[in-house]
Amino acid sequence: MRIILPALLTGAAVPAHAASGPFFSLQNTNFTVLIAFLIFVGILVYFKVPAMLSGLLDKRAAKIQEDLETARKLRDEAKALLASYDRKLKEAKEQVERIVANAQSDASNAAAAAKADLASSIARKLQAAEEQIAAAETSAIREVRERAIAVAVAAAGDVLAKQMAGENAGALIDSSITEVGKRLN
């Protein structure tokens, strides 16, 4: 607006000074410029420059529209991809939580099983120790009895040997030893 108004005022003032004589004369610069302008516009129309400009503008508008559609599609795909990644992230977090919960449960179950195994192992070892003690006790008692019997037999043999002399003594000792052997078994 600022440029157009001074140009119009200047253009309106100049022809008044430059024009001398009738308007429709080739000597009138205004008329000559008008004719040149109309020829220029005619050439532009003849070579279909406005249609080409319109076509170029339409192509440009179509290209811009296509770019906008592509941008919208890309934005929608990006939104869908983001939603997909968000969903996968949420599923992964839930899976991690399930894995951690299962691991904690498995660990507590394993600890309880280990405690139970330890308790049963201790009970088995105690029972085995008690059985070993009982077996050792039985063995010791049997050994003591056998020694006592052996000592008693030897003492009885010595006593009988002193009391008996000769042939009768040997036969009596042999029969006593045989009888003691039968009673021990």
pLDDT band at 153 (very low <50, low <70, confident <90, very high): confident
**Within a domain: residue 145?**
yes
* pLDDT confidence of residue 4: 54
Q: Is the pLDDT of residue 52 over 60?
A: yes
69-91 residue pLDDT tens? 999 999 999 999 999 999 999 99
What kind and span of H or E run contains 133?
helix 49-163
pLDDT in tens, 155-179: 877 776 676 665 666 676 777 788 8
Structural domain contains residue 163: yes
Is 58 inside any structural domain? no
Distances, alpha carbon 149 to alpha carbons 141, 142, 175, 177, in Å: 12, 10, 16, 11
Does a structural domain hold residue 124? no
179 falls within a domain: yes
Q: Which H or E run includes 78?
A: helix 49-163
Q: Examine residue 39 and state whether it is found in any structural domain, yes or no.
A: yes
Within-domain flag for 114: no
HSE of 172 in the Cβ direction (CA atoms, 13 Å)?
14
Domain boundary among the residues 29, 47, 65 is at: 47
**What average pLDDT score do residues 31-54 get?**
92
pTM of the predicted protein model: 0.39
Q: Report the pLDDT value the prediction gives residue 169, as an integer from 0 to 100.
A: 62
Measured distance CA(151)–CA(145) in Å, rounded: 10
Number of domains present in the structure of the chain: 2
Cα–Cα distance, 91 to 88 (Å, whole number):
5
Q: Among residues 32, 47, 62, which one ends one of the domains? A: 47
Cβ count near 177 (within 10 Å): 13
pLDDT recorded at residue 166:
59
| Torsion sign across C-alpha atoms 32, 37, 38, 42 | positive
pLDDT in tens, 54-70: 999 999 999 999 999 99
Domain that holds residue 143: 138-184
N-to-C CA span, the chain: 142
Mean pLDDT, to the nearest integer, of 137-163?
A: 82
Q: Pick the range with the lowest mean pLDDT from 1-15, 33-47, 58-72.
A: 1-15
Instruction: Give yes or no for a contact between 31 and 37, defined as CB atoms under 8 angstroms apart.
Output: no
The predicted model gives 30-48 an average pLDDT of: 93
Q: At residue 180, does pLDDT exceed 70?
A: yes
CA angle 80, 82, 85 (to 5 degrees): 110
Would you state the pLDDT for residue 24? 75
Query: What span, in angstroms and rounded, lies between the C-alpha atoms of 141 and 147?
Result: 10
- Whether 76 is covered by a domain: the verdict is no
User: CA separation (Å) from 141 to 36, 131, 134, 149?
Assistant: 148, 15, 10, 12
User: What's the pLDDT at 62?
Assistant: 95
